[in-house]
């Protein structure tokens, strides 16, 4: 089913008029791809989709969850996490507190990954962890810290690569290392993060497009991976402005491996792959 310009405009208008969301500045290509997938899945055309969104608030919320991106995993891109562990976090070792924000945190796997690294470096107790997302549903999942085990066995491979400096060939012999951070129940098919990690972060619902820094502190590190790739240039710049204002001097920003800062904001950050540091002003 082909989604054309007028379909996307119809969708954007419906969303603006019947919810608090606004997809006006989202990437046209990303919206078209996701809407095409949704229409095929639901066997609807755009007129039918918009009509139901207007008349069914729960359905509209479900479509918002499908449109926004919630693909994440523990220690995703292990080589990046190794650089965080070996090069970035040690630079904060003399600071107290260390403030870290995960905007667009989704279901929380990267938040837990960061806390495990901090604990490994004996920096967790001195850290303040903040996380935000557009949807209450995914924030609730993050707070519970329960994930499917069989579907997510790559978590254990990534854990081995990053935390144990292995090759990703995890085994149950490593269970003693996992137990410090999470419990695996094969019978219930769950990975449950330990309570002291679940209770650490401060979570807030936040729309990066509209909202200011809701935590009212400046951060040493902002981790926002695989979010801005779905925004157009104007919206990206708005988010970069928010991040720039919210970082401490010389604070660091980490984006996804396929994301970068271009244009006017490239002069306000100093890039040292894979990190962007707030430039002196």
Domains of the chain: 5-67 (no CATH), 78-139+200-278 (3.40.50.150)
For position 230, what pLDDT does the model report?
A: 79
Predicted confidence (pLDDT) at residue 115 exceeds the cutoff of 90:
yes
Closest CA to 31 of 72, 66, 77: 66
For position 172, what pLDDT does the model report?
A: 61
Predicted confidence (pLDDT) at residue 22 exceeds the cutoff of 90:
no
CA 102 – CA 206 distance, rounded (Å):
11
Helix axes 5-18, 57-67, angle to 10 degrees: 130
Q: What is the pLDDT of residues 34-90, one digit of tens each?
A: 888 888 888 888 899 889 989 988 888 888 777 765 567 889 999 999 999 999 999
Q: How many CB atoms lie within 10 A of CB 216?
A: 7
Percentages of the chain per state (helix, strand, coil), in multiples of 5: 45, 20, 35
Q: What is the pLDDT of residues 120-132, one digit of tens each?
A: 999 999 999 999 9
- Please state the pTM of the whole predicted model: 0.81
Q: In terms of residues, how long is the chain?
A: 281
CA 220 – CA 246 distance, rounded (Å):
9
Closest CA to 77 of 261, 272, 254: 254
Predicted confidence (pLDDT) at residue 1 exceeds the cutoff of 70:
no
CA 258 – CA 252 distance, rounded (Å):
17
CA 101 – CA 182 distance, rounded (Å):
22
For position 167, what pLDDT does the model report?
A: 79
% of the chain residues with pLDDT over 90: 48
Helices (H), the chain: 5-18, 28-42, 46-55, 57-67, 78-83, 109-120, 136-144, 154-163, 175-178, 195-198, 233-246
Q: What is the pLDDT of residues 142-171, one digit of tens each?
A: 999 999 887 677 788 899 899 988 877 766
State whether residue 125 is helix, strand or coil. Answer: coil
Mean residue pLDDT across the chain: 88
């Amino acid at each position: 089913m082909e989604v054309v310009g007028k379909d996307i405009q119809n969708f954007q208008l419906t969303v603006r008029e019947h919810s608090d969301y606004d997809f006006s500045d989202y990437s046209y290509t990303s919206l078209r791809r996701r809407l095409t997938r949704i229409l095929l899945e639901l066997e609807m055309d755009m007129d039918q989709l918009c009509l139901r969104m207007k008349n069914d608030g729960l359905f509209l919320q479900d479509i918002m969850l499908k449109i926004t991106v919630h693909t994440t995993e523990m220690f995703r891109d292990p080589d990046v996490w190794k650089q965080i562990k070996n090069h970035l976090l040690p630079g904060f070792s003399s600071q107290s507190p260390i403030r870290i924000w995960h905007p667009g945190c989704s279901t929380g796997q990267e938040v837990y990954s960061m806390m495990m690294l901090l604990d490994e470096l004996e920096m967790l107790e001195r850290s303040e962890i903040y996380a935000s997302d557009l949807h209450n549903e995914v924030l609730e999942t993050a707070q519970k810290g329960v994930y499917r085990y069989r579907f997510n066995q790559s978590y254990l491979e990534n854990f081995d690569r990053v935390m144990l400096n292995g090759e990703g060939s995890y085994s149950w012999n490593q269970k003693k290392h996992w137990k410090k951070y999470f419990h695996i129940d094969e019978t219930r098919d769950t990975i449950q993060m330990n309570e002291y990690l679940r209770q650490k972060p401060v979570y807030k619902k936040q729309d990066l497009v509209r909202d200011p820094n809701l935590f009212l502190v400046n951060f040493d590190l902002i981790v926002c991976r695989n979010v801005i790739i779905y925004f157009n240039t104007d919206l990206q710049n708005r988010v970069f402005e928010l991040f720039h204002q919210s970082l401490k001097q010389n604070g660091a920003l980490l984006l996804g491996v396929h994301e970068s800062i271009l244009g006017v904001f490239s002069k306000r950050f100093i890039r040292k792959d894979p990190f962007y540091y707030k430039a002196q002003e």
